[in-house]
Chains A and B, each alone.
Chain A
Amino acid sequence: MIQNKISSNSQKRKIAIESMNVKKYFEDVKAVDDVSFKVYQGECFGFLGPNGAGKTTMINILSCYLKPKAGNAFVMGFDVEKEAYQVKKHIGIAPQENIFYEELTVYENVMFFGKMYSIDKKQLKARARDLISKVGLEVKQKVKAEKLSGGMKRRLNLIIGLVHDPDIIFLDEPTAGLDPQSRRLLWDYIFELKSRNKTIFLTTHYMDEADVLSDRLAIIDRGKIIAEGSPEHLKETIGKGDLLSIKIDGERQKILKSIEELKVNDYILDAFYHEEEMETKISAMDGVGRIGKIIKYFTKNDLQVIDVGVQRNSLENVFLSLTGRSLRE
């Protein structure tokens, strides 16, 4: 496992969720295996992993639905095993599947789940209407949930988890199976939640989603966390690095000599001259941040750089590099 240092800035922030060596086994399957991490208040923490990696099991433990086999977990300082009732006051969940009553209307569903918390009725009504309107379901509030489109159902599924205005929101694959427009709408709403200093625990297997929404993320595979840090940091340090394609005007021998000199650096993962395309291909960790430094190796040998193409490292590559498998596999 690659564990990145949490920034000193993070250490000063209050911890919203803490998992300490949590284990959960289902017979022989190690769904969660000695998992530790911290989520700070107000951040969006991405929990990235392929299907069956243990993401939902971890949410189930943190939301007091499942008891861990070993280890401890705390939400807002409350033990999920011993102080479940207190934990539940602080959390809201939008599960992976749409879970609500198909026979009830949008408004009735939101009100019903709201009443499962001790909220003042007047306050609840106002909050239900506000949430319904924010996700664009105002005109559908008297419509039975079974009559809603897939995107609308996802939005209803989300706001049901938010009706009691929780401090921490667990979003389990919130955009799975959605069309781009609905996805964008949900992203916007998640950004708004972030702006209101809500702590978001986001599980997803969409790389772009994790990249865009997460302040920090952990990658989990086969029940274990294999990497943790900000998306940028992970991309800079793990994987094939950034791919630079540089067109250089000059003698071939000088180009090859420059490549050999460049390869001495640790951050260069690979570098070669592509004869047919007449381009130099370089894989470098944080290649984009080091472009100036890399170009100097060519210019000092009297070569002229004509064009630089950049292909940035992705979380997909990070995962591929860590596990040898694609996230979708």
Chain B
Amino acid sequence: MTRLMTLIKKNLLRFIRNPKTLGFLIIIPILYYTLLGLIFGGIDFNDTTSTFNIGWVDNDPTTADYGIHPQFHLNYIFNTTNDIEGINLYNYSSKEEAKQAALEEIISSYLLFPNGFESYLENNSKINIAFWNNDTSTSTNYSIFDFYSSLVSTTYTMFDFNYYDYITGTSILSNFNDYNYDGMLIINPNFMKGLDNSWNINMTYIYRNGTSISENYYIIGSIQTLANNHFHTLGAVSNVSIPATYNYMVPDSNPFESVSFEVYFLQTLSPAIQATIENILTEVISSIINNNPLEIALPHEKKSIVGTVVNNITFSAPGYLLYGPMTILSFALIILTGEKKDGIYKRLATTEAKNWEIILSSIISNIILIFMQFGIGSLILGIFGWSPIIYSLFDGILGIVITMLLFSFLLLALAFALAPVFKSPDSAGGGVWIIIIPLAMVSGIFVPIELFGETMKAIAAWLPTRFAVVALQNLLLNGFPLTHPETLLNFGLLMLYSAVIFLIGIRAFNKFKK
């Protein structure tokens, strides 16, 4: 045991004493992770996936008038959206059913349309205005009812007027929040008399809190035009107007409550793809429902199917965190080939040190370094917003320890197997990157595998390093417990690969040592 400890201590002392090694072990990972944090902490990837399988849950019992507004019908929206290339929609009767389909990876996301969605669209497709005739004066030439009729029958289909006399109008105004009006057009007292005398022909337009200035301008402008067209045709000389002083917000009025649909995503879906799906769907649905000048807002909420919504760093961290440790493969190879070249193994072989002690000390020293790399990575990614989603602290920590131990074992098995291939530290130092870079790329260490094409995904599924990435994703992204079958399966496969490579590697290495 003392001898093993001495060998480990010696290995670590050599790392610390060599400035190049120290730089390699500390400065490079710090730089790497800082750059990753800076680059991916705020910028999304470009999407490369072309087909999205999306669930559709219609929980809305309300129905828009199909004859007038077919585009507000969720069935119509479903069919039109489903016709778009690259989008495959699947209908589900409930949120639970859709969630199950997502967990089974039939779909990657689903849309949930709540109660009142179609009514919301229909209501928001018109401007509902209360017409309050607050004028008790009369005209010999003009009729207020004719004017109201002309407004109702206008070709501006987005307006919907409801008439109230001077008594009921007061009640509507005082209980404005109880009605579904965007605003109220008030025929001011002496309006009719004014028409006859060509003076004081003003109206008032009051609007609901939350109505935009541009919408108000549009409404006021339209009403003024309609009124003047009507009265001028009948011989009126003066213009009817809604002066600025007669345009204000209904006191204490509340804005309309919007009805949002919800977009649920699997956490394993990269934020970039989530954003892509979200943008495509909102754009498509908006373009279906909006066929009038006043755009209906399409509020929606983005949610995660399991747990919370993840950012780019959190999504990609399980892969990134394995890159630092993976570089130890190069380091281990340089040491193994270097010690052989320098005759260290030969000298140690003549001492009482046993072969297993020498190999185990090398494994333990490198495992310490691998954990150090993981620590540096975690710390820096944490600064840039990495927020692991774990089942429990115990599962998270123990899961990381097990994954890193197995990953270390795999890397060192590879180092032992590759040492006889490269022979010298110079060729090992450079040559090993021919293996590290593609292995890291295809395993999804650099770039999330979700952005790969199907062929590359299939290749990645067979790589041992991929099992480590998936195990960490399950533990740190999906919030799976340590005992989750998928995590255990990845541990098992990683262990199996490592054991096979280790047996081959150690055999080749023992031969190489001599």
A78 to chain B, nearest CB (A): 13
Contact A66 B348 (CB under 8 A): no
Asked if A112 lies at the interface with its beta carbon under 8 angstroms from chain B, I say yes
Asked if A117 lies at the interface with its beta carbon under 8 angstroms from chain B, I say yes
A154 to chain B, nearest CB (A): 14
Contact A116 B13 (CB under 8 A): no
Contact A112 B6 (CB under 8 A): yes
Contact B17 A103 (CB under 8 A): yes
Contact A144 B342 (CB under 8 A): no
Chain A residues with Cβ below 8 Å from B17 are 103-104, 144
B112 to chain A, nearest CB (A): 63
Chain B residues with Cβ below 8 Å from A113 are 347, 351
Of the residues A65, A104, A115, contact of B350 by C-beta under 8 Å: A65
Contact B343 A65 (CB under 8 A): no
Asked if B43 lies at the interface with its beta carbon under 8 angstroms from chain A, I say no
Contact with A along B12-38 (1 / 0, CB 8 A): 011001100000000000000000000
A242 CA / B18 CA spacing, docked (Å): 57
Counting residue pairs across A and B whose Cβ atoms lie within 8 Å, the total is 59
Chain B residues with Cβ below 8 Å from A99 are 342-344, 346-347
Chain A residues with Cβ below 8 Å from B342 are 97, 99
Contact A104 B14 (CB under 8 A): yes
Contact A91 B2 (CB under 8 A): no
A144 CA / B18 CA spacing, docked (Å): 11
B340 to chain A, nearest CB (A): 11
Contact A91 B352 (CB under 8 A): no
Given A103-B13, A108-B13, A115-B3, the answer on whether A89 and B350 have CB atoms closer than 8 Å is: no
Of the residues A85, A89, A97, contact of B343 by C-beta under 8 Å: A97
Contact B343 A116 (CB under 8 A): no
Contact A64 B349 (CB under 8 A): yes
A112 CA / B9 CA spacing, docked (Å): 10
Interface residues of B toward A: which range? 20 to 34
Chain A residues with Cβ below 8 Å from B351 are 88, 113, 116-117
A81 CA / B347 CA spacing, docked (Å): 17
Given A103-B13, A103-B18, A104-B14, the answer on whether A118 and B343 have CB atoms closer than 8 Å is: no
Contact B349 A65 (CB under 8 A): yes
Chain B residues with Cβ below 8 Å from A101 are 10, 14, 344
Contact A116 B514 (CB under 8 A): no
Contact with B along A113-137 (1 / 0, CB 8 A): 1011110000000000000000000
B193 to chain A, nearest CB (A): 106
Asked if A258 lies at the interface with its beta carbon under 8 angstroms from chain B, I say no
- In the complex, what residue of chain B is closest to A94 when comparing beta carbons? B347
A135 CA / B348 CA spacing, docked (Å): 22
A2 CA / B352 CA spacing, docked (Å): 38
Asked if B496 lies at the interface with its beta carbon under 8 angstroms from chain A, I say no
A108 CA / B349 CA spacing, docked (Å): 19
Contact B343 A88 (CB under 8 A): no
Interface residues of A in 161-218 (CB under 8 A from B): none
Given A99-B343, A103-B17, A103-B18, the answer on whether A112 and B10 have CB atoms closer than 8 Å is: yes
Contact A65 B346 (CB under 8 A): yes
Contact A117 B350 (CB under 8 A): no
B431 to chain A, nearest CB (A): 23
B305 to chain A, nearest CB (A): 53
Asked if A93 lies at the interface with its beta carbon under 8 angstroms from chain B, I say yes
Given A103-B13, A103-B17, the answer on whether A89 and B514 have CB atoms closer than 8 Å is: no
Asked if A151 lies at the interface with its beta carbon under 8 angstroms from chain B, I say no
Chain A contributes a number of interface residues (CB within 8 A of B) equal to: 26
Given A103-B18, A112-B6, the answer on whether A93 and B13 have CB atoms closer than 8 Å is: no
- In the complex, what residue of chain B is closest to A63 when comparing beta carbons? B350
Asked if B436 lies at the interface with its beta carbon under 8 angstroms from chain A, I say no
Asked if A95 lies at the interface with its beta carbon under 8 angstroms from chain B, I say yes
Asked if B353 lies at the interface with its beta carbon under 8 angstroms from chain A, I say yes
Contact A88 B514 (CB under 8 A): no
- With most chain A CB atoms within 10 A of its CB, the pick from B10, B342, B351 is B351
Of the residues A91, A104, A116, A118, contact of B348 by C-beta under 8 Å: A116
A21 to chain B, nearest CB (A): 22
Contact B352 A95 (CB under 8 A): no
- In the complex, what residue of chain B is closest to A115 when comparing beta carbons? B6
A217 CA / B86 CA spacing, docked (Å): 87
A112 CA / B344 CA spacing, docked (Å): 12
B231 to chain A, nearest CB (A): 100
Contact B14 A116 (CB under 8 A): no
Contact B514 A65 (CB under 8 A): yes
- In the complex, what residue of chain A is closest to B343 when comparing beta carbons? A99
Given A66-B514, A144-B17, the answer on whether A95 and B10 have CB atoms closer than 8 Å is: no
Chain B residues with Cβ below 8 Å from A118 are 352
- With most chain A CB atoms within 10 A of its CB, the pick from B17, B349, B350 is B350
Interface residues of B in 328-357 (CB under 8 A from A): 342-344, 346-353
A66 CA / B511 CA spacing, docked (Å): 11
Chain A residues with Cβ below 8 Å from B347 are 93, 95, 99-100, 113, 160
Chain B residues with Cβ below 8 Å from A93 are 347, 350
Chain A residues with Cβ below 8 Å from B343 are 95, 97, 99
Contact B352 A116 (CB under 8 A): yes
- In the complex, what residue of chain A is closest to B513 when comparing beta carbons? A65
- With most chain B CB atoms within 10 A of its CB, the pick from A89, A95, A115, A117 is A115
Contact with B along A137-167 (1 / 0, CB 8 A): 0000000100000000000000010000000
A85 CA / B10 CA spacing, docked (Å): 23
A95 CA / B347 CA spacing, docked (Å): 8
Given A65-B514, A104-B17, the answer on whether A95 and B353 have CB atoms closer than 8 Å is: no
Interface residues of A in 70-98 (CB under 8 A from B): 85, 88-89, 91, 93, 95, 97
A116 CA / B3 CA spacing, docked (Å): 6
A118 CA / B353 CA spacing, docked (Å): 9
Contact with A along B33-76 (1 / 0, CB 8 A): 00000000000000000000000000000000000000000000
Chain A residues with Cβ below 8 Å from B350 are 63-65, 88, 91, 93
A5 CA / B6 CA spacing, docked (Å): 48
Interface residues of B in 479-514 (CB under 8 A from A): 514
A101 CA / B342 CA spacing, docked (Å): 9
- In the complex, what residue of chain A is closest to B10 when comparing beta carbons? A112
Chain A residues with Cβ below 8 Å from B14 are 101, 103-104
B499 to chain A, nearest CB (A): 28
Chain A residues with Cβ below 8 Å from B3 are 115-116
Some 29 contacts from A to B, beta carbons below 8 A apart, are A60-B346, A63-B349, A64-B349, A64-B350, A65-B346, A65-B350, A65-B514, A66-B514, A88-B351, A89-B352, A93-B347, A95-B343, A95-B347, A97-B342, A99-B342, A99-B347, A100-B347, A101-B344, A103-B13, A103-B17, A103-B18, A104-B10, A108-B13, A112-B6, A115-B2, A116-B6, A116-B352, A116-B353, A117-B351
Which of A's residues lie within 8 Å of B, judged by CB?
A: 60, 63-66, 85, 88-89, 91, 93, 95, 97, 99-101, 103-104, 108, 112-113, 115-118, 144, 160
User: Which 10 A/B pairs are nearest by Cβ-Cβ distance?
Assistant: A116-B351, A103-B17, A99-B343, A115-B6, A99-B347, A63-B350, A116-B353, A103-B14, A93-B350, A65-B349
**Besides the known contacts A88-B350, A93-B347, 19 further A-B residue pairs in the complex with CB atoms under 8 A apart:** A60-B346, A65-B346, A66-B514, A85-B352, A88-B351, A93-B350, A97-B343, A99-B342, A100-B347, A101-B14, A103-B14, A103-B17, A104-B10, A104-B14, A112-B10, A113-B347, A115-B3, A116-B3, A116-B352
